[in-house]
Amino acid sequence: MDLAARPSVCVGILSDTHGSIERNLLHALECCDVVVHAGDILDPDILRQITPQSGHVLAVRGNNDTADQWPAGTRHLLDALPETVHLSLPGGLLVVEHGHRVHPAHQRHQKLRLKHPTARAIVYGHTHWRAIDQDEPIWVLNPGAAGRVRAHGGAGCLILHATPDAWVVQPVPGAF
């Protein structure tokens, strides 16, 4: 999947579905070129549900993505989930991780920036709180929870529109 050579790319960004996803978020993700899930999936059917028309989905393992949390017979899918994904887009690199291994929490954004110095933006989940931190050259984005579990402020996701010259982040609220 060579997205970096395209003139523009639309990326759906979500996290922390915990086995369910709000329906109107699925509608928002349908036309994306790629969807990234920043962990705590808990049910592999979520990955099927969030697959856009392009067929491109990338996901990372969250702290709750464990054999005892996933349905029986899906261990091979769980084992295939990486800790981190690097996605080359027009205008830069998007890095995705769950973020639960970055401590202390009040320094998470700065530590993520130090950990991924070549990124244009870093996506993480885990907190269930939306964050769009564009105060520094490396953005740090958390879409908040896209499922029903601790969806502070309501379920939601982000849409990233990337071109070689500009990146724009659009929040998408859910309706649980």
Q: What 3-state class would DSSP assign to 161?
A: strand
- When pLDDT is cut at 50, 70 and 90, the band that residue 153 belongs to is confident
Task: Quote the pLDDT of residue 2.
Answer: 86
Task: Quote the pLDDT of residue 175.
Answer: 55
- Calculate the average pLDDT of the chain: 94
For the ranges 31-35, 134-138, 150-154, 161-165, the lowest mean pLDDT is seen at: 150-154
Q: Which pLDDT tens digit goes with each residue over 112-124?
A: 999 999 999 999 9
Task: Quote the pLDDT of residue 47.
Answer: 95
- Residues 153-159: contacts with CB under 8 Å, at least 24 apart: 153/129, 155/21, 155/22, 155/25, 156/25, 156/130, 157/12, 157/13, 157/14, 157/25, 157/28, 157/29, 158/12, 158/13, 158/14, 158/130, 158/132, 159/10, 159/11, 159/12, 159/13, 159/28, 159/32
CATH topology of domain 10-130: Purple Acid Phosphatase; chain A, domain 2 (3.60.21)
Q: What is the mean pLDDT of residues 6-29?
A: 94
| Domain range summary for the chain, segments of one domain joined by + | 10-130
Task: Quote the pLDDT of residue 75.
Answer: 86
Q: Which pLDDT tens digit goes with each residue over 126-140?
A: 999 999 999 999 999
Examine the pLDDT at 176 and tell me if it is beyond 50. Answer: no
- When pLDDT is cut at 50, 70 and 90, the band that residue 151 belongs to is confident
For the whole model, what pTM was predicted? 0.95
Examine the pLDDT at 51 and tell me if it is beyond 50. Answer: yes
Examine the pLDDT at 174 and tell me if it is beyond 80. Answer: no
